[in-house]
Amino acid sequence: MPRLETRPDDACMIGLEKEFQDNFMNSMTGHGRAVAEREGIRFAVEISSVNRKQCEIVVSLPRELGSLENQVRAEVQKRVNRGRVSVFVVMETVPDRDLREVQIDQGLALKCARAVEQLRDSLGWKESALDLDVIFRLPQVVQVVDPGLKPELAWPVIEEALGAAMEQFLGMRAIEGQAMGDDLRMRAGLLERLRAEIETRREAVVIHYREALTQRIEELGVKVEVDDDRLAREVAYFADRSDISEELTRISSHLAQMNTMLESTDAIGRSLEFLLQELNREFNTIASKASDAPISQAVVTAKTEMERIREQIQNIE
């Protein structure tokens, strides 16, 4: 089995990250690194990611192992749904392990030796022994060749390092996702309180409109009876036109769905984006229907919180 390099606290950290990974939603940013070694072959794998609407995986391998790119990408794609993921695979040097080979071209060496002997004879040299150093120094007689590493030998080691790096990477995404989830739950609670404030103000808006309308009519010198049918019809028309009960109900439903999603371990980023669009639409409708300063202020506050939620959602898988 490959030997994985670990720090003293790695086992504890991996366990903690695994717990978060299994129980919480994920951020789209993370990092992981691991090294595996087998029979003198050592690979380091480093994974990092940033937010991206789609899933984009970029793999960097030693040139001679380029054929393994699809296998690396497939392993990552099994566990990542969104984000731009960069995977760097590096072959590391192992002490006392040298894959290079020394090759001697014996045929060429023999020809060179004969040529040297012929030259010696033609020049009348008397030395009878041929110095091998002369032969070895001749070009192409002795070559140092690096055959590289075959993909089928490299893959088991890369796969092991990749798996360990993925655990760290996913664990970090889950831990960050939990922190983001806590923040989003807090902001969803603020939106619910704003919705409740608007709901308590709803009836007061109609009462205020009736009082303001009565005052304007009386300022024109027209006496208004308490049970005046025309006034009642006008107020009823206003109440119907400015009714926001449906919007408030839908906001409550959307917030409940959001809280449910925030407890999920699935990829929820896109679903949260859709819910946020719906919430924004409902609050905008309320602002256009209700001609009331406190409600308008509550809507402005809600839109500020929704913008903060939108920024967080951009980084959720």
Same domain for 276 and 297, yes or no, is yes
Same domain for 133 and 106, yes or no, is yes
Same domain for 70 and 214, yes or no, is no
Q: Give the model confidence (pLDDT) of 90-105 as tens digits.
A: 998 766 666 667 778 8
Same domain for 131 and 170, yes or no, is no
More reliable by pLDDT, 280 or 63: 280
Q: Give the model confidence (pLDDT) of 159-205 as tens digits.
A: 999 999 999 999 999 999 999 999 999 999 999 999 999 988 876 66
What pTM did the predictor assign? 0.65
Same domain for 298 and 202, yes or no, is yes
Same domain for 181 and 281, yes or no, is yes
Same domain for 138 and 260, yes or no, is no
Q: Give the model confidence (pLDDT) of 227-264 as tens digits.
A: 556 555 654 555 556 577 888 999 999 999 999 999 88
| Domains held by the chain: number | 3
Q: Give the model confidence (pLDDT) of 115-172 as tens digits.
A: 877 877 787 776 655 667 777 777 777 776 666 678 998 999 999 999 999 999 999 9
More reliable by pLDDT, 293 or 68: 68
Same domain for 33 and 163, yes or no, is yes
Same domain for 116 and 59, yes or no, is no
Range of the domain at 159: 3-97+151-174
Residue 191's CATH number: 1.20.120
Same domain for 130 and 226, yes or no, is no
Same domain for 87 and 111, yes or no, is no
Q: Which residues contact 43 (CB under 8 A, 6 or more apart)?
A: 35, 36, 37, 89, 90, 91, 92, 154, 157, 158, 161
